[in-house]
A and B are shown apart, each in its own frame.
Chain A
Amino acid sequence: MVTRRRVLRTGLTAAAAVSGTAAALSPMLAASDRNPAAATPGAVEAALGPPGEPPQDDEGSSAPLFDEVYRNRRIQGFASDAEAGLDVFVDGRPLQLMRRVDGSWISVANHFQPFLTPLATARGAVDAIGRADLSLTNAGHHH
């Protein structure tokens, strides 16, 4: 069985590849390509297996899970001991993520739409908030 760690690794490689490409694209092109991986339950389960413990970064806690510029916003994810298992930032401001039982994710910016990966969730948040800054104090989750 594929472990979550492996999947995150794979996701990370893919993310690096995508971010390299995305950096070369104009924001308009990125905007036209905004079809965030909407989660289908079966696909999530196939990809991730049953939900387990949150992802660990076994190469030290400071290495980002992802770090890219998407539509002119810097999005970063780090493993953490937060309940969701990671901390995600948009231009340095925290984006609160929540994990669904099938392994998919939602964020405060997209409360009713699951995404397959934290990276897709962060991109989906940028799609939703446009150029606005995330609030530092408001609309937080109950943790």
Chain B
Amino acid sequence: MILKVALSIGLLLYAISTFLYLYRILKGPTTSDKVIALDSTGMNLVAIVALLSILYDTDAYLDVILLIALLAFIGTVSFAKFVEKGKVIDRERDN
């Protein structure tokens, strides 16, 4: 019972945090602000899925946690590259 209450509080806090990130995505003065907010949203999602798997008492979502972490990284990297160079994949390697 205590666990459930604790989990609910945790989820609520993460939800609030997600909304705040969302505000940053919508407002954030520069693209970099928005990308960082997106990356942090991804991390929040990792936490939310973890809390949900405890709540549902299942280990079926552990893959999801790993994947979100991975993809959030990839996404952030490609955004970063896009912001930096204007393109995601270079055609030729420039030394």
The answer on A and B forming one complex is no
B-contacting residues of A (Cβ < 8 Å)? none
